[in-house]
Every structure is written in C-alpha cells, then in structure tokens.
Amino acid sequence: MERILEAAKLILSANDETIKILQGNSVSQINTIERNSKSIKDPDPLSSMLSNIAMKYPITISTSSIKSYKIPQEYVMKSGDLRKYNRTPCKLETIDWYLNNSDDPKQEVKEVIQGMMSSGITRLNKIMTMSWKNLNYSVCRTQFTTMMIATNPLEIKIPRELKIPLLSKVLGIDNYIEYSDIPIDMIDMVKEKLLKNNSIPFRSLPNVIQYLGSELNEKYRFLPVLPGMNEDFLLVSHALVQPCYSAVEIGNFISKNHRENKVVTGVCISIIRIVNKMGINNIFEIVDSIKINKLKLTSYLNDTYENKFVKAVKAILHFPVTSRVEIGSTVFNPRIAKLRRTTQKTIGGVSFERIEGEEKVYFTNNNTKGYFTHQNQIVKVLKVSLCKPDTIKTIIPHIAVFCCMGFNNNRARTYSSLQQTMIRFWTENLNQFFGVNKQDLRAFLRNMESSGVGATIGMMEIVENVDYSEEIYSNLYFDYPYFKTKDNQIFMTLPRVSENNENDVSVDSDHECFLEFLHPDVKIIKLIRKLSYEIPLVKKMVTERRWFGDKANVLGHIPVRARSIAIKQAREACIKFSSGPFVSYMKMVSAYIFTGREPDQLSRKTITVIPYHDAKISFSFRAHDLVYTLLENNIGAMYYKKKMVITERSEITKPDKFFLGFSGEFELRAINNLISDVQHKPFSWLMFNSESIEEMKMYTTNIGGQNYVVRKNMNFAYEVSKTIDRCLLTREDCELQKDLKDILKRKREVDIDNMTEGSNESAKRMKRDLDSSS
C-alpha cells in the first residue's frame, strides 16, 4: 500500500509532458509483466523464452566489457539495465561480432573452457554424429513409460559417502596421511575424465570443488521414455518420438547393443563357474579383485545390459536387479508370486523349468505393451495394446516359449536350439495358440487395425494401453541354485554356463581362485612376475623335484598331444638353469610354470616349439625366438610375444601400502649417477642373497629406470612404522593445539567485551595484541 501511495504522489507531481508520454504508449508486454510479478513457477517457459529472444535487446553484457572490447554502439542499448548493476542490454548479433573480432583466447583459457564444457561438448558431438538425413517418420500412437533416468550418466559409479573424500584426495587437500580408503580406480577416473585439461591452476578451489561435485552428480529425473532407450538418444528423444508420431526403425535406437559388454558378460560367466565349483564363501573377495582396464568390475555392472549372467552376479552381490527375461525381441517382467518350480527334461535330454501356480507377466516389444496370466503351459488372459498385425505374429511365439509350450516332445540337444525350434513352430502354427483355425486367425489380423480397441480372439483382447513397469528387487538371498526373495519366493535360477569361455586380455585379478579364468597371455605374464619375487623358493622346489601346482591350468592351453612333451622339456630346463654353468634364474622361473601335473607317461618325443594358445614356446630360450625370448644383456629382460614381462628395471608390484624397498630389510636412496666404488647388483640377486648380505652393506641397483643406493638394514620396516606413528601423533597434537588456541582466543574476546569503561585503554591494547597474534 505504501508503494502504491508513493507511485500516486509521483504521478501527481509529474509535469504535463510526462503524463502525455504515459498516456500515448501502451504496455505491450503486460502478460510477461504479470508472469514475472508472480512468485510461482513459469507455466509456459518456452513462450517466455521465445518472447525474450524476440526482443531487440534480449541479452546483457558487462558495461565495462563494452569499452574493453570496443564493441560498436549499434549493438548495445544506450541506457543500462535497471534491474542489474553494471549490465547493459545488447543484441544477439553482439555474440557474432565478438567471435569475429576478438583476440583468440590464450591456451590456458582454452583449457579451462574445454575442461568446464567437456561434458556438454561430448553430448553435442553425439548429436552431430547422428545420421539425421536418413531418418524417416511415421504417424502412430506411442506409449511412454515414466522411468528414473540419469541425465548425466557417469562412466564410474561413486557412492555418495565417498564423493567428498574423493575430491579431497584428487585435489590434494586431505593432508599427507591417507585416512580415507578411496579405491585407486576412482581417483584415476576422476583425474582422467574431469581434470584431463588441467584447469585447476586457473580457478579458485571452491569453484573447482563445486564443478567436480556437479560432474559427479548423475542427476536422476523421472522422464517419459521408451523402455531400454539408448542413453545417447535420450538427449534427442523429443525429436525421435512423440505421442502422435515416431521415427521409423525406432527399434534401432532402443537396441540393447549399446550397453552390451561382452567382456563383462564373460567375467560374470567365470564368476558363475566359480560359484558352481566353490560356492559363494569367498565370492565377494574374488569380485573385489577383478579389474577390467584397471577399473573394478563393480564399476561396470550397473552400466551393463542386464542379461541373465550379469543379473545373477548382481544378485549374488546384493545389487538391485529387475525381473526382466528376454526371449527374442520381447522383454518379459514376471511378478513374483507363490509358485513352485519343477525341473523336467525334453525327449532330447534338455532340462527346463516348469512353473506350477498362476503367474502374471508383463511384456513389451518396441512400442507394444501387454500382460498375460498363465498356469503352467496354459495362458488364461492376454491383454495387448493396439499394434500392427506383424507385432502380434512376433510376440505370440515368444509368449509360448516363455510358458514352455510343447517343450516335452522336442528333440533339440541344447536349450538355445530348443527355444529357436519352438519359436519357428509357433510362428508357423499361430492359430493353435488361440485355439482357432487359420482362416479365422487371418481374418482377425486383417481386420485388427480397423476393429481397434476391444477386438478379441481366443484369450487375447486388444486394449487402449497397458501400464508397463519394471520392478526392482534387492537383497535377494542365494540358496543354490535359486535366488529367493525375503518372502522365500523363488526369483530366478542360477543360469547354466559353458565351461570353455575365455576372458579378454583386459581382465585382470590377483586372486588365486580367478587365476585359471584369465586370458592365457595374461596368465603366463602374471605367473612369471609372481615367481620372479620367489626365486629362492622356486630354486628349492626344483632341487627337491617338487613341481608347480598348476592351479592356473596353464597346461590346459597346450594341446593334449604335446602336453607330456612340454612337461618333460620344462622340467629338464628347470634343472639345467637352476645350477651349474648354465644357471639363469629367470629361465628357471619361466620354465617352472609348465612343470605342473604329473603326466600319464613322459614322452620320449622331442618338439622344438610347443604350441601355447595362439603363441609358441621354446624351452631353449634362444635370443632369436621372437615369440618367447630371454635377452641375455645387462638388464636381463624377459619378453613374451614381443612384450616385456619383467626386467631388472621393472617396477616392483608388491601390494604394500608403504614402499619399503625390496622388503623390510633394505632401504633405498635415489641417485642420479651410479657410484663407481659401490658394487652394482640386479634386484633379483639382492632378493635371492638377502640373508647372506652383511648389515649396512651398500649396493647400487636400478628400478623403473631410476638408480638407487641400497643398504641392508634389518630395522628398516620398524623405523618406517615408527615414523608414521610420529606423523600421526604430530598431526593430532597440532589439531589439539589449534583447538586450544581457538578456545583461548574466544575467551579473551569475551573478557574484552565485558571490560568496563575505566579499562578502555587495556581493552584496546589487548585487541591489538590479539589481532597481531592471529
């Protein structure tokens, strides 16, 4: 009311010219003014944006920038923006002028811009690389499903509780002692993906933390989408599909192939084989040790399409899983109910599960949705949303296979061939599913679109829409071979797996139970590296004729006909290179891993080269052998398939949290050049002779290309641990001293405030002392 009265007084006191201007101009943006004056959410943001863009001066620029960049006056408004300080409205053409006439930014600024806009640039590149010119549309009815979607999908899943410690670790603001146990793969991912442009030195630390925190937020939103739509196409889903039209071949965009990861699936199959063999006692420890491209397996599971193998591993790890079952292009989502599962066999000997009890199942095939209820092999109710006849011809055979119709009398030898055979059968005999003759079925399909909603045949009815959704289940418990819910209802069965799957070379693990499932090349390299740190033990085993326990199944990659020959040659090579004039511990170690299981009969045949997977091995270890070579030079490098396995200059890969040298008995000091009067020894020699080396004896060696002085010190490990303890204690003391200082400072401030007027000079003096001390 006061503002209205003040405005009325201003109008009454205005001169005649001002009144004429107000009376002669109409308020053309009254709707915009009304919207902006209300403290509610804009009901039509698109119209507001278009209205603002259509204005003569839709954007603003810093007033100081007009002079510094010498922007022509024709692009900017003569008066400033009354709503914002130091801002001047300008035309959209100002941006084009600036891009054409301004100086190129410095390289540092480019790096900052690229670092800040990297995610947006990635999304833009995805949109620009889509084949828009080949896209056609058709008028149709599209049915959406509201799902929670990550609008900022991450390549690695970071738990909420680790985000702040992770940022502290990456930015180096967590002091010098590691208090938070952050997985190294997460740190590497953040450094590589978010800090690859090195924008940190040019931005303030609070801005960096805010920027990284925003990039680590997946920003989940409930959006209307097609089930299974590719994350890349979610950016342009509004252009691909709408309630009244859809892009032709939209199935290509919602294909599961974008999230299929054959490497992850292969690892999951190996884990299921371990569960079949050993149970799940150590399965969490095994899974935690598995890495793909140096990232943990768990980082890939949530982003990998949930086939039956991936789903089983996620359920074992207590990850949330869906009830999704795929048959062909149809996705089924059965609802959990009190059912009983029995295992039966076909005439061909293939086992399959039959469900006893009534089950309700939802399904989707591209844009078509529906549900059915069945009891054993009998479908009682079937509801399908309005679709084309060809879609019905596709879905019905898949439903028949889901219900195991006609499985008993099939002679297929495998489960996959059983499914394919029955899909072909029901495609050719679709009328038998509905219990009608072929003429009636053809007439129904011919008139289905014109009949519309309400058309029926057999147990099937065409309906307007079906509310399809996927149910998420978590905390399933495993009762071999079943996964059960908390109500003790069977959720799924552990899938059958083949025994001959081979993992990719990018898969790695240090757990002995997973060693046999590694790629043959990775397996042999890891064994050579591992045994090179246990040379004294290997030499003792060779002397006692105790051969390698082949838990890794190295010999399984050698053909059966050559296996006994390989064992014989490997044992002879171990004996030869373990002592005498031909001693070579690296050669001994390399041959020792092939001395495993006892052959039925040691062959007398001789083969120069032994086939191993896709490589060949020669136990003569000649330098001209390019496949498997030991180069006899100063660095003693072992090569496998032209790739260095281990050398004197290789980094030591011990899993110690603190680097204690070769062991707790040696201390290291980096040097630039070798010392002439100090004897140089390879690290393998130092390890082998550690017990016989005198205390405080010094040598030089080379590790990872860096020269070191090595000194024998039996108390080195103890000294390191005590130093760490002292650092921790010092840090705790510093924090305690800081707390005491803050308490005393606050007390002095209170005392000063409570002083009387008579002691004013003392108060001022104490305040000066306080300010100078702080």
Please state the domain count of the chain: 5
What letters, b where the CB count within 10 A reaches 16 and e where it falls short, cover 323-348?
bbbebeebbbbbebeeeeeeeeebee
The better pLDDT of the pair 378, 108 is held by: 378
Q: What is the DSSP letter of 149?
A: E
Q: Is the pLDDT at 565 greater than 90, yes or no?
A: no
Q: Which of 460-464, 547-551, 620-624, 738-742 has the lowest mean pLDDT?
A: 738-742
Q: Are residues 563 and 602 in the same domain?
A: yes
Q: Is the pLDDT at 662 greater than 60, yes or no?
A: no
Sign of CA pseudo-dihedral 289, 182, 651, 665: negative
Q: Is the pLDDT at 620 greater than 80, yes or no?
A: no
Query: What whole-number distance in Å separates Cα of residue 292 and Cα of residue 257?
Result: 19
What pLDDT sits at residue 139? 79
Q: For residues 587, 588, 589 and 595, what is the CA-based torsion angle, rounded to 10 degrees?
A: 120
Q: Are residues 353 and 461 in the same domain?
A: yes
pLDDT tens for 427-439 read: 999 999 999 998 9
- Using alpha carbons, select from 708, 702, 725, 642 the residue that is nearest to residue 669: 708
Q: Is the pLDDT at 450 greater than 60, yes or no?
A: yes
Identify whether 402 is part of a domain.
yes
Query: What whole-number distance in Å separates Cα of residue 261 and Cα of residue 239?
Result: 28
What letters, b where the CB count within 10 A reaches 16 and e where it falls short, cover 132-157?
eeeeeeeebebbbbebebeeeebebe
pLDDT tens for 624-657 read: 343 344 434 434 455 565 555 554 444 333 333 2
Average pLDDT, the chain: 75
**CA terminus-to-terminus distance, the chain:** 50
Identify whether 150 is part of a domain.
no
SS3 733: helix
Query: What whole-number distance in Å separates Cα of residue 745 and Cα of residue 708?
Result: 50
What pLDDT sits at residue 735? 46
What pLDDT sits at residue 195? 60
What pLDDT sits at residue 773? 46
Q: Are residues 48 and 60 in the same domain?
A: no
Q: What is the DSSP letter of 106?
A: P
Q: Is the pLDDT at 196 greater than 60, yes or no?
A: no
* pTM exceeds cut of 0.85: no
Q: Are residues 4 and 89 in the same domain?
A: no
Identify whether 490 is part of a domain.
no
Identify whether 131 is part of a domain.
no
pLDDT tens for 709-752 read: 888 877 766 666 666 555 555 444 444 444 544 544 554 454 44
Q: Are residues 426 and 384 in the same domain?
A: yes
Q: Are residues 340 and 375 in the same domain?
A: yes
Q: Are residues 608 and 536 in the same domain?
A: yes
What pLDDT sits at residue 645? 56
Q: Are residues 16 and 70 in the same domain?
A: no
Q: Are residues 85 and 98 in the same domain?
A: yes
Q: Which of 16-20, 128-132, 506-510, 681-685 has the lowest mean pLDDT?
A: 128-132
Query: What whole-number distance in Å separates Cα of residue 53 and Cα of residue 46?
Result: 11
Mean per-residue pLDDT, 407-429: 88
Query: What whole-number distance in Å separates Cα of residue 694 and Cα of residue 48?
Result: 84
What pLDDT sits at residue 323? 82
Identify whether 3 is part of a domain.
yes
Residue whose pair of structure tokens reads 């510094």 in the numeric block? 68
pLDDT tens for 332-385 read: 888 877 777 788 888 888 888 888 888 899 998 877 889 999 988 889 999 998
Identify whether 329 is part of a domain.
yes
- Quote the domain boundaries for residue 611: 519-646
Query: What whole-number distance in Å separates Cα of residue 308 and Cα of residue 269?
Result: 10
Identify whether 27 is part of a domain.
yes
Q: Which of 201-205, 558-562, 754-758 has the lowest mean pLDDT?
A: 754-758
Q: Are residues 441 and 375 in the same domain?
A: yes
Q: Are residues 542 and 626 in the same domain?
A: yes
Identify whether 675 is part of a domain.
no
What pLDDT sits at residue 539? 86
